Each structure stands twice: as C-alpha cells, then as structure tokens.
Amino acid sequence: MDESGPRSTQAEPPLGIFKARCEEKGRLKLPADFFEYFKKAGVQKVFITTVDLKQCRVYAKDVWLRNKSILEKGGEHAKLAQDVALIADLYGAESDVDAQGRILIPQELRKELEIEGQPVWIQFFNEHIKVVGEKIHKERLQNALAGLQGKVEELEKDGFK
C-alpha cells in the first residue's frame, strides 16, 4: 500500500480514550482499535511530534504532509508557522507501524513530555492521535470538569443530543 497517499474513507476513527504505556525503549503499543483503524486506512508510516510541548501527536504521514504544506505557506501567520514548524521538526520523526501495532516515540520527545516508561492516555481527535502523560491528562480532566453542566447546556443549544 502507498503509505503517503490518501487514506481509505471506509476506516472509522476509534472512539474513546485508552490507557497504554510507553516502554523504556520508547515503543508505544497502540490499542487494538487504533491499530485496526491504521490497517483499514492503509497507514504504514506515521509522523510523531508535538506542537505544544504538552502532548505527543501521531499523524498518518499524508495528514502531516498536509499540515507541513500549511506551515510552509505561512500566509499572514508566517512567523507563527515557522515557530510551530521548528518545534514539530525538532521533536518529530517518522515511524513505521509494526506488525504488532507499535510505534517508536522519538527519544527527545519522550523525555520532554516525561512519558518514557510511563502510563499514557491515547485519544483520536481531529485526524491525529493525541498521547499525553499522567500530569497533562489530569490537567485536561480537571479543566473539562470545571463548569461541565454549563458546557453541556451550551452545546445542546447548538444541537448536541
């Protein structure tokens, strides 16, 4: 399969947040639903990086290449794009998705995010996989819980069921 070409539209992205572990050597075994998604979508290569030094992002290679194109164009946000591209390139690397559904998180990224040999939480969102360590997971959860009822009510006004 062409790992850099467009992905199959038949693949359904995984739902939910899953707990996993980043091994000491930096390998992350993707939960079965994520691995199955990549297989159905024909994804064999991924680009793993961060753009905020809080979470690891795992992109199918074709999705990352679209992002890279946006960053290179820059437009009215050229300086912002250069800064984000610098961080993404500094901490990022390509990885194959092996036969067991494992990917290799770049060493500097693992150290920066403090996820080496640690539990991580994995979520598919906006065409990429988010991987966060325990500290960031707890922060995100606390922020989500703050005023949750009001958040739901606002979304229901917009049609959320």
pLDDT in tens, 96-130: 999 999 999 999 999 999 999 999 999 999 999 99
Identify whether 70 is part of a domain.
yes
pLDDT in tens, 10-19: 789 999 999 9
What is the 3-state composition of the chain as percent helix, strand, coil, each rounded to the nearest 5? 45, 25, 35
What's the number of domains the chain is made of?
A: 1
Is residue 140 included in any domain, yes or no? no
pLDDT in tens, 48-59: 999 999 999 999
1 pLDDT exceeds 80? no
The reply to whether 51 falls in a domain is yes
Does 151 map to a domain? no
142 inside domain: no
CATH of the domain at 70: 3.40.1550.20
Domain presence at residue 1:
no
Segment 131-135 shows an average pLDDT of: 96
Range of the structural domain that residue 117 is part of: 17-133
pLDDT band with cut points at 50, 70 and 90 for residue 8: very low
Residue 108 inside a domain? The answer is yes
Is residue 156 a part of any domain in this protein? no
Distance between CA atoms of 120 and 83, rounded to whole angstroms? 26
Distance CA 37, CA 7 (A): 10
pTM of the full predicted structure? 0.88
Per-residue pLDDT band for 9 (boundaries 50, 70, 90) equals low
| Average of per-residue pLDDT across 20-35 | 94
| Residues with Cβ within 8 Å of residue 89, at least 6 apart in sequence | 49
